[in-house]
Amino acid sequence: KVTKKNHKGLSGKLRLLMEFLISAVVIGFLVYKQHLSTEIYIPFFKNLIFDLHWFYVPFACLVVVGCANAVNLTDGLDGLAIVPVIISAGTFMLFAYVAGHSEIARYLTIPYVAGAGELTPIAASVVAAGLGFLWFNSYPAQVFMGDIGSLGLGGFLGAMAVLTKNELLLVVLGGVFVAEALSVISQVISFKLTGKRIFRMAPLHHHFELQGMQESKIIVRFWIISILLAVLSLSTLKLR
């Protein structure tokens, strides 16, 4: 903005490239220097495990970058993104605590991750900060998180999924974010291939707006869905 004297900032492609590069460096370091497991665990199944070996780094990068941008796309209505972020961070806080204690992890048949318990206070701080932000971001919003906030929080959730070995569970827990992202992807693909739109507008929350649904109702219903998905995710602790 300063050097080029415009407000456009980074292009979408350059931003996405930088996100993948930064993720690759960090995750590569964790895998090859800190010996982060390259195994992925299938939710709801006890012993269904796949070792991706060196494919794990690009996979984990996709998880982190995908989650970051999905949260960014969700942040379109007052309070819409922050509450699912709070709920997801709170859920990961519990998973981190459990995964960091070998006896509890063994009892619940979930992967033990040495040091994962140290992530618990970090996730708790995100929950607390999110609640403080919601105080001013609830309808009608006085402050907005912007791209920096939404990308950062989404990246945090993706990182928590990777570090606690819940990469695939993130699809369930972050179902609201996934739906928003898929609505944009499917809309773009459909329009380019057929010239027709699937939704009146993407992301998904704007489609509901154009259908005449009140903003506050859309927001609360997305919150309810996030709570239900968090409960379903927590049920995987025993449903294996």
Query: What is the mean pLDDT of the segment spanning 99-109?
Result: 92
DSSP annotation string for 155-191: HHHHHHHHHTT-TTHHHHHTHHHHHHHHHHHHHHHHH
* pLDDT computed for residue 27 by the predictor: 97
Would you place residue 40 in the very low, low, confident or very high pLDDT band (cuts 50, 70, 90)? very high
pLDDT at 4: 67
Strands (E) across 33-97 are located at: 39-41, 49-51
Nearest 5°: the CA angle 53, 56, 58 is 135
- Condensed to tens digits (0 to 9), the pLDDT of residues 13-23 reads 899 999 999 99
Asked whether the predicted pLDDT for residue 197 surpasses 80, the reply is: yes
Instruction: Tell me what the pLDDT averaged over the chain comes to.
Output: 94
The larger pLDDT score, comparing residue 238 to residue 41, is at 41
Q: What band does 175 get if pLDDT is binned at 50, 70 and 90?
A: very high
Average pLDDT over residues 187-191: 95
Could you state, in order of their start, the residue ranges of all structural domains in the chain? 61-235
CA 179 to chain CA mean position, Å: 11
Beta strands in the chain (DSSP E): 39-41, 49-51
pLDDT at 198: 94
In percent, the amount of the chain with pLDDT more than 90 equals 88
- Say what the pTM is: 0.93
Q: DSSP secondary-structure letter at 139?
A: S
pLDDT at 238: 81
> What is the structure's pLDDT at 2?
65
**Which SS3 state, helix, strand or coil, does residue 197 take?**
coil
Per residue in 112-168, pLDDT tens?
999 999 999 999 999 999 999 999 999 899 999 999 999 999 999 999 999 999 999
